Chains A and B, each alone.
Chain A
Amino acid sequence: MKREANAIDFWRGFALITIFINHIPGIVFDKFTSKNFSLSDSAELFVFLAGWSLRLIVGRDDNPKPMPQIASRLGGRALTLYAAHMMIGMIAIAILASASILLDNPLLLEWHNAAAVFFDPVNTHIGMALLSHQLGYFDILPLYVALMIFAPLVAAIDRCLPRLLLPVSIAIYLTALCVPITIPTWPTEGQWFFNPLCWQLVFVLGFVMARPSGIGGFVRRHIRPIRWLALPIVIGGALMVIYDVYPDPLTMPEPKLLFIVGKTFVTPIRLIQFLALVAVFSVAYGYIRKLAAPLVEPISMLGRNSLEVFCVGSILSLLGQVARFQTGGGYGIDTALVAAGVAIMFLTAWLAEGPERLKAPAASRTAA
């Protein structure tokens, strides 16, 4: 049965629209997304909400689901994500290849880290299958796959030693920052854009915060003072972005990653600002429901079908880039691109819920 609209699905849907726009570089609407007013962006929100959703899979403290069932479901999810990543990667490569032929521009073969696919295909296809070669803007699903592979371990620690989960996660995070440890790419030399050793903390924080007891319970009980404490951090973060004032990495003490702003390592400054943003905006959903009720259900529908919508959105972003390249962009073109893209994302979510819609009347008839 279809889930009712809720804050998690709503914000996930919001993040999907934002990611779609942000993945068309140069588009005019890019300037209005949260990344222009916040040190963190929709990637943190997406991963945090994934952790939050894991709590729903694990079950309530008074009615926990069996561990084998949890492991099986998460393993299946990891496989689904892997398959989705492979599929959209291949479609992206086909789009770049087609565009380069149709538009007579071989430089398009080099967009988004795709050059190695065309120029060193033997090694790169192995790398793609191993997730060690990732296309630009198509690099968050590999992080998800990695998180889902380790999610049963997260759930098991939470079940057996709940107080240990967050300290272990923080210890891994700090080690990755202080050493620093990165996940290398191959065959192209580089590193994973989203370092899973660091981003796992965002995931675990979502999981821990979703728990009605423990830290999650503490935050719920004290959310008002926490919001007041968080507000200056959010404002300060916004001012840093707007006025382009960041800590200079070379003047920071070692280990530098503890003091600078970076997305790959989701550094502490960025993470703290994100948590503050969550605290402040946790009050917003109730108001949005009251003041913009017609938006809540459609955007939540996007969030309920996040994988399908994300995949389609990623492909649409790439098509949008090709369209902007060919037309030069501008307000008219960019508006049309965003309108068409968001409409297709809604259509995707609507189609994905088709089987549920068909089941609902059948269930009503059976009940009658």
Chain B
Amino acid sequence: MKTLIAAFLMLLLAGIPTPAPAQAPGEIAAIPKECAGPGATEVQDPYLPNVAAALRDRKKIVILAIGSTSATTRGPVRGGYYAIVERILEKAFKPLDVVIIHRGVSGELAADAAGRIKTEIALTKADLVLWQVGTADALAHVPIYEFRNTVTAQIRWLKEHKVDVILVGLRYAASLANDPNYVGLRNIIADIARDEKVIRLRRYDAEQALSKLNRDTTEGFDFAQNSEASSICTAEYIARAIAAGLFIKKAPARPGAPPGPPAN
């Protein structure tokens, strides 16, 4: 597993220093195969108009990362895996300046985060909110209707104020795979993303696939390693979702169109 992560990190980091990588501007290298979980990204409307406007007008996008899931990576990486998102985007869209402001608190409920999002948006003037949502609420058994109302109201407020949103869904834990409350909340997040037409990153699915891969290929299984690997993959998905959101033109919705990854 260590080898796998090391190889993966090298793959990610190798292209950062000059000389410039062999990829066209606005194009991100293929997603690492470890992260190629089935349907990791669910897209109802990939276009991120406010991020695109920020790129066009300012060559700078400000992203507010908030929510309940840790962004910590092992080692001295300031900004956790969001730093990886910054690197991927800045490398792909030179001379784009990507600023990710991390205001997430691991374990924070959606209702508490929602209260802070408005203030943080006002202070940071962010163009996009990356909201890791649901895990803490599921663990605290927050009533599902309350959760739905909270998240929906917040997404609508953000849209009204010209701020794009990407939801990052629940984390995976084998012991919760059949927990009705956990499964219920997962489904609600999917419903919210579909109803409100926002991008949802299915971290649960990606982490589950990664977990299976690791169990199959390594003798020992370490949650910290798996969590870090899934965090790095999440960074890859986020970067791709944003990249896709920048360039896909808004088109009329096609009824019954199947969801699919926004990039690759």
Contact = CB atoms under 8 A, between A and B. Distances in A.
B93 to A, nearest CB: 23
30 contacts: A25-B109, A105-B175, A106-B227, A107-B135, A107-B173, A110-B135, A110-B171, A110-B227, A113-B107, A114-B106, A116-B72, A119-B228, A120-B73, A120-B75, A123-B76, A136-B106, A188-B80, A189-B79, A190-B103, A190-B104, A190-B105, A249-B121, A250-B122, A250-B161, A257-B119, A260-B118, A264-B119, A325-B139, A325-B140, A328-B181
B142 A26 contact: yes
Given A26-B142, A328-B141, A329-B141, A250 B118 contact: yes
Contacts, number: 123
Interface string A91-123: 000000000000111111111111110111001
Interface centre among A104, A187, A264 (most CB of B within 10 A): A187
A90 interface: no
Interface centre among B106, B173, B227, B228 (most CB of A within 10 A): B106
A327 to B, nearest CB: 9
Q: Give the bracket for the number of chain B residues in contact with chain A.
A: 35 or more
Interface string B90-132: 0000000000001111111100100110110111000000000
Contacts of B228: 119
Given A112-B107, A180-B123, A189 B227 contact: no
B223 interface: yes
Closest 7 CB pairs of A and B: A115-B70, A249-B122, A106-B223, A111-B107, A26-B140, A189-B102, A112-B107
B70 A110 contact: yes
B254 interface: no
Contacts of B79: 189
B232 to A, nearest CB: 12
B122 A113 contact: no
A104 B140 CA distance: 16
Contacts of B174: 104
B141 A105 contact: no
Nearest to A255: B123
A118 B74 CA distance: 9
Interface centre among B70, B121, B143, B173 (most CB of A within 10 A): B70
A257 B123 contact: yes
A216 interface: no
Interface in A108-146: 108-116, 118-120, 123, 136
A244 to B, nearest CB: 9
A18 B136 CA distance: 21
A209 to B, nearest CB: 28
Interface centre among B118, B119, B143, B228 (most CB of A within 10 A): B119
Give the dominant DSSP class at B's interface.
loop
Interface of B: 68-76, 78-80, 102-109, 112, 115-116, 118-119, 121-123, 135-137, 139-143, 161, 171, 173-176, 181, 223-224, 227-228
A136 B107 contact: yes
A23 to B, nearest CB: 11
Contacts of A250: 118, 121-122, 161
A119 B227 contact: yes
Contact of A107 (B71, B80, B123, B171): B171
Contacts of B181: 328
B141 A324 contact: yes
B74 to A, nearest CB: 5
A252 interface: yes
Given A109-B223, A110-B107, A189-B79, A119 B73 contact: yes
Nearest to A109: B223
Interface string A244-267: 001011101000110010111000
Contacts of B175: 103-105
A223 to B, nearest CB: 33
Nearest to B109: A25
A321 interface: yes
Interface string A157-199: 0000000000000000000000010000001111101000000
